[in-house]
Chain A
Amino acid sequence: MKVCIACGMPMKEVAEYAGGDTSKDYCIYCARPDGSMQSFEEKKAGMIDFIVRTQGFDEKAAAQLAESNMKKLPAWKECFE
């Protein structure tokens, strides 16, 4: 089982891979409609929206949280150098 390089989600089922393609290293939630992986800014904005919607946190706190999460993920390593 692989873990998505862009959000850290374990990918257990084929349907959880981007485009249902198990050779991909990122998940369905981190893919654009055309199947390519989202950019850093796209992913960050998506994470902030998601945190605000599902947990109701303050937007600034949500941004901090999203960044701290992304810092640990292989897909975004160079964005923090």
Chain B
Amino acid sequence: MSSKRQLQKESTRKKIIETAYLVYSEQGFNATTATIAKEAGLSHGAIFVHFPSLDELMTCLIEEFGATLTLELHSLVETNKSMEELLRIYLEVLIKHEKFYSRLITERSRLPEEVRMTLANLQSLIAHHFNNVIEREIDKQTVKKIPVHMIFNTWMGLTHYYLLNKDLFSPDTPVLERYREDIISTFLELIKR
């Protein structure tokens, strides 16, 4: 295959992934591949040239989403960040992807197992960053001596609660952006020594 065709193939693949991200963000994971093809300006068949099955498309999409998030978090979380800085960075990254992330957590049980695993791995990675910071702050006696997993789960529970009930908390505007300061300051108040 000529390199020009190779490049074109790559760019079509990228276009499909980007369009799928937008379509699923807006319509949820029930959206059809026909819709994605139409939005991407491609024939329906073109999608299956790149992704033989719907599961494959979803898995690739979540993996790329995970890789993006990993990189964004990792590049921002320098060593020696404080708990507050970590929470800010985490919400900053999530705010950028709020719609898509909300779909993932609300529709999780209906996603293929492979996709659910990829999502769980992404959350483990976030837990990894939290663990580094929490352990250091507990050592410095700036954070209460609560088991790391309970601090992490309390934070996840809090942010997910707002995301899952967005229609009640903020029907018209992104919910995390609106409540960011409340969420961060309250959580810090709860765990600080």
Spell out A's residues near B (CB within 8 Å).
8-10, 12-13, 50-56, 64-65, 68-69
- Contact bitstring B115-141, A, C-beta under 8 A = 1, else 0: 001101101100110110000000000
What are 16 A-B pairs at a CB distance below 8 A? A8-B70, A10-B70, A10-B74, A13-B79, A53-B131, A54-B131, A54-B152, A55-B124, A55-B127, A65-B117, A65-B120, A65-B121, A65-B124, A68-B114, A68-B117, A69-B124
Known: A10-B70, A10-B71. A54 touches B121 (CB 8 A): no
Asked if B2 is at the interface of the complex by the 8 Å CB criterion, the answer is no
Q: Are the C-beta atoms of B124 and A51 separated by less than 8 Å?
A: yes
Main secondary structure of the interface of A (DSSP, over half): helix
Which residues 82-98 in B have Cβ within 8 Å of A in the complex? Answer: none
Q: How many A-B residue pairs have CB under 8 A?
A: 48
Known: A10-B74, A65-B124. A56 touches B117 (CB 8 A): no
- Contact bitstring B31-57, A, C-beta under 8 A = 1, else 0: 000000000000000000000000000
- The interface on chain B, measured as residues whose beta carbon lies within 8 A of the other chain's beta carbons, has a size of 22
The smallest C-beta distance from A16 to any residue of chain B, in angstroms, reads: 9
Chain B residues closer than 8 Å to A64, beta-carbon distance: 117
Known: A10-B70, A10-B71. A56 touches B153 (CB 8 A): yes
Q: Are the C-beta atoms of A54 and B117 separated by less than 8 Å?
A: no
- Contact bitstring B94-122, A, C-beta under 8 A = 1, else 0: 00000000000000000000100110110
Closest to A62 in B: B124
The smallest C-beta distance from B190 to any residue of chain A, in angstroms, reads: 18
Q: Are the C-beta atoms of B148 and A53 separated by less than 8 Å?
A: yes
Query: What separation, in Å, do the CA atoms of A52 and B114 have in the docked complex?
Result: 21
Asked if B150 is at the interface of the complex by the 8 Å CB criterion, the answer is yes
Chain A residues closer than 8 Å to B124, beta-carbon distance: 50-51, 54-55, 65, 69
Q: Are the C-beta atoms of B153 and A12 separated by less than 8 Å?
A: no
Query: What separation, in Å, do the CA atoms of A71 and B13 have in the docked complex?
Result: 24
Query: What separation, in Å, do the CA atoms of A64 and B127 have in the docked complex?
Result: 17
The smallest C-beta distance from B80 to any residue of chain A, in angstroms, reads: 12
6 tightest A-B contacts by CB?
A56-B149, A68-B117, A54-B127, A54-B131, A69-B121, A10-B74
